[in-house]
A and B are shown apart, each in its own frame.
Chain A
């Protein structure tokens, strides 16, 4: 009997790194599953359901239809909107990662050298992050104002430089929207990468110093490879957040001039609240989610796996 029990124990060893798994895990997982299902999955399922109807904000009686899918995916504006979304996302993500990394490196380096004021610097960068998107858009709208008294253009004039059509020129308006988004989102990247930088083993840098490695070589062959996981996770999260951004844009440019800065999230919003087209908005929401998931999966494919670096 004792021998059989001992055999059974050795036959099903507990998983590494965890305690014993209950024989019936479902009751333990049920609260979490219910919570996730209710608050995360149900809205997605509902959006999917609405996408296959002719639902409108003006009429609660919706019938099954695939018309909304055809209308939205065949919309002549969708191409421009997707192009805007791609430019906005790429510019914002690259900007946030590069600036976030630069500031994180600066702060870590400053802390290692005992430089004063690093905490203040971190806090200052974080201050931008806690500002709501709408307020961020309004702040930058005032800064980018092309009126003779506009803040940035006045500074340019003082420096003897010509003023810039920040918001009225279709090309510049997208750049302005990216700048406003990068300004706000950099803090998030900085914090993630700062934490990752702090966890890099100092002995690696000490060994590199013994080998007389240059700063660039230390960055290229130690910092970047060690940060790979954090950079990719950071990229996934920022891509998703940026794709969903519309608050900064609606208060900064409203999507204009024309459609110059109308991204997919704003187009979805306009479809629901101008056209009252709930079904069309749901189709676009699902499209937005599909793009987010595809991009996240693409980036995740490069994530280091356990046992492989």
Chain B
């Protein structure tokens, strides 16, 4: 009896050993052996390795453990970023400039220009072949390289804004702004809230709305990076796009509460509660709808390209995240590039995020779904936010402006004048 128990305990211990070993290899602040000779600090968001979804965290743990086994003598000291994006990213710049920043970090693509301007990123060219660099989408390649052709980050996934609709209520995808307004009003008559989009203070508001301005042909900054959205032809286009949002609220096609919506979770909640039949959301929300809603309800939801002023004038904002090296140590830059490659290929495929290299769409079965056809078609009209340090303030002023106009606190012209004055003052001080 005792011998059988001892044998069973031993067998259990042997079977569980790899599991325990892996568990020890990945902790809340480290990947790899604690006594490793070399250490790389990596600041990441909480959506993959430390995801609250056990399947996601397990998949990334496996990727990271394989990576560390391929790089003996190394460990990765992980640092979690907070959810407060702008503060976190600004703090990281300051720390890097003071020599206290992480060696490798995830940087929001919208903030990458600020990092480039601060001169704290190390080139990663030698860890990527010329073919691999050429495989990046053109707007991605432009975003991550400097004038000298240095690749300063790996933009590992992109995203875009699309229109989601409940096809039982809105069978045909609206193609123009007028189509959208008419369809939204029709849903209101059926007891729905109308079209939902971000309209509160937050980057989502600017990003959702910018697609409309870009579809008209407007530009936020000129080639020198100087703000121009309030001048000349851009001014008229800007006001036209603002009035479009204003008319959605004034006509009742969108509820007044859009000025208090700051996250896409609000739209998801409304879809789950069946209080809306249309909303503007990110491509990643397609998977969220499938997992949040009952199967038969989820099947009713489809994504389509954002409507434009005319069916031919379309645009959508593209974002995503990058991984960049903030160290001068070549070995650490190599490790950072290696981590970026984990995310770029298998990491994206697992999470269903949109890769930034064309070849990856053929390489993984994940991208065979019909929704990816819609996303890839919409990406044809994709626009990235301008890579200039003044962009965060432009975005801030657009959020203020839209909130004031949609809540009736200001007229579009006056709100634009105030935004222009604020942006000009901030630009002069940069």
Contacts and interface: CB of A to CB of B under 8 A. Distances in A.
Interface string B250-272: 00000111111010001001100
Contacts of A170: 404, 407, 409
Interface stretch (B85-93, B154-162, B165-173, B310-318): B85-93
Contact of B98 (A60, A167, A253, A270): A60
Nearest to B94: A57
Interface stretch (B4-12, B36-44, B235-243, B417-425): B417-425
B129 interface: no
Contact of A76 (B409, B422, B426): B422
Nearest to A277: B429
Nearest to A146: B257
8 contacts: A147-B270, A148-B273, A168-B257, A253-B201, A256-B259, A256-B399, A258-B400, A258-B404
Interface string A190-210: 000000000000000000000
B273 A56 contact: no
B200 A253 contact: yes
Given A170-B404, A273-B90, 5 more contacts: A58-B117, A257-B201, A257-B404, A258-B410, A273-B87
Interface string A205-232: 0000000000000000000000000000
A100 interface: no
Given A167-B257, A168-B407, A254 B201 contact: yes
Interface of B: 86-87, 90, 93-94, 97-98, 114, 117-118, 193, 199-202, 255-260, 262, 266, 269-270, 273, 275, 389, 392-393, 395-396, 399-401, 403-404, 406-407, 409-410, 415, 418, 421-422, 425-426, 429-430
Contacts of A111: none
A275 B275 contact: no
A274 B392 contact: yes
Interface string A159-176: 000000111111001000
In this complex, the member of A71, A75, A148, A270 whose beta carbon has the largest number of chain B beta carbons within 10 angstroms is A148
A87 B260 CA distance: 20
Contacts of B400: 256, 258-259
Given A147-B270, A260-B407, A67 B429 contact: yes
A276 B260 contact: no
Given A60-B97, A256-B399, A257-B200, A276 B90 contact: yes
A272 B90 contact: yes
B172 to A, nearest CB: 25
Contacts of A76: 418, 421-422
Contacts of B392: 274-276
B291 to A, nearest CB: 20
Mostly helix, strand, loop or mixed at chain A's interface? loop
Interface in A144-186: 145-149, 165-170, 173
Given A58-B430, A256-B259, A258-B407, A75 B86 contact: no
Contacts of B395: 274
Contacts of A275: 392-393, 426, 429-430
Contacts of A58: 93, 114, 117-118, 389, 430
B114 A257 contact: no
Contacts of B98: 60
Given A58-B118, A167-B260, A256 B201 contact: yes
B352 to A, nearest CB: 27
Interface in A64-85: 67-68, 71, 75-77
5 tightest A-B CB contacts, nearest first: A254-B201, A258-B404, A257-B403, A167-B260, A146-B257
Nearest to B93: A57
Contact of B429 (A71, A168, A256): A71
In this complex, the member of A60, A173, A257, A270 whose beta carbon has the largest number of chain B beta carbons within 10 angstroms is A257
A146 B260 CA distance: 8
A129 to B, nearest CB: 23
Contact of A253 (B257, B260, B270, B418): B260
A147 B429 contact: no
B409 A68 contact: no
Size band of the interface chain A makes with B: 35 or more
A273 B108 CA distance: 14
A256 B409 CA distance: 11
Nearest to B255: A146
B255 to A, nearest CB: 7
Contacts of B90: 57, 272-273, 276
Contacts of A256: 200-201, 259-260, 399-400, 403
A133 interface: no
A284 B14 CA distance: 63
A75 B202 CA distance: 22
B409 A260 contact: yes
Contact of B403 (A54, A60, A145, A258): A258
B404 A149 contact: no
A68 B403 contact: no
B389 A276 contact: yes
B93 A274 contact: no
Interface in A266-289: 269-270, 272-277, 280
In this complex, the member of A166, A260, A269, A273 whose beta carbon has the largest number of chain B beta carbons within 10 angstroms is A273
Contacts of A68: 429
Nearest to A166: B260
A149 B426 contact: no
Nearest to B114: A58
Nearest to A255: B201
A254 B202 contact: yes
Contacts of A59: 118
A57 B93 CA distance: 7
Contacts of A165: 256-257
A147 B257 contact: yes
Contacts of B86: 273-274
A71 B422 CA distance: 10
B111 to A, nearest CB: 10
Contacts of A280: 429
A148 B256 contact: no
Given A58-B118, A147-B269, A255-B201, A168 B256 contact: yes
A276 B90 CA distance: 7
A23 B341 CA distance: 70
Nearest to B90: A273
Contacts of A168: 256-260, 407
